[in-house]
């Protein structure tokens, strides 16, 4: 008389295969989430740089502008978040602006803040 069912070896083989597949799927999902977060961050930085360009066009050349300045001028949303941390960007963060000999502006946003005791005032 034959018994129906799976042997212990067959069950272990299926469990191992499922474990390997789940590790692969989790790795792919994790990479996708990280890639998306970095793309969102780059888009936020691009938005900040474009707001800085508009600020310079409206107000004239300056060596740096804070996010507070951009928000106060209505060029940047007041609730702009860093997608990597899900927290609001610090209002004291600077966009450094330089002008080359040909008159071209260059904008850099690298996470530098104005000063430790900086207070932002905008409506």
**How confident is the prediction along the chain (123 residues), in pLDDT tens digits per residue?**
567 788 899 999 999 999 999 999 999 999 999 999 999 999 999 999 999 999 999 988 888 999 999 999 999 999 999 999 999 998 889 999 988 899 888 999 987 777 666 777 776
Residues 92, 63, 73, CA angle at the centre, nearest 5°? Answer: 55
Give the pLDDT confidence score for residue 123 in this predicted structure: 61
Give the pLDDT confidence score for residue 6 in this predicted structure: 83
Give just the sign of the alpha carbon dihedral 40, 34, 93, 87. positive
Give the pLDDT confidence score for residue 10 in this predicted structure: 92
Give the pLDDT confidence score for residue 119 in this predicted structure: 76
Give the pLDDT confidence score for residue 1 in this predicted structure: 59
């Amino acid at each position: 008389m034959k018994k129906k069912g799976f042997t212990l070896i067959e069950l272990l083989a299926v469990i191992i295969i499922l474990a390997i597949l789940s590790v692969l799927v989790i790795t792919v999902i994790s990479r996708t989430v990280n890639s998306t977060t970095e793309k969102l961050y780059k888009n936020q930085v691009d938005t900040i740089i474009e707001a800085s360009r508009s600020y310079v066009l409206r107000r004239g050349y300056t060596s740096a502008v804070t996010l507070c300045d951009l928000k106060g001028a209505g060029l940047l949303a007041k609730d702009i978040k860093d997608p990597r941390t899900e927290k609001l960007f610090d209002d004291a963060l600077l966009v450094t602006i330089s002008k080359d000999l040909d008159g071209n502006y260059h904008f850099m946003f690298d996470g530098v803040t104005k000063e430790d005791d900086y207070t932002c005032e905008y409506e």
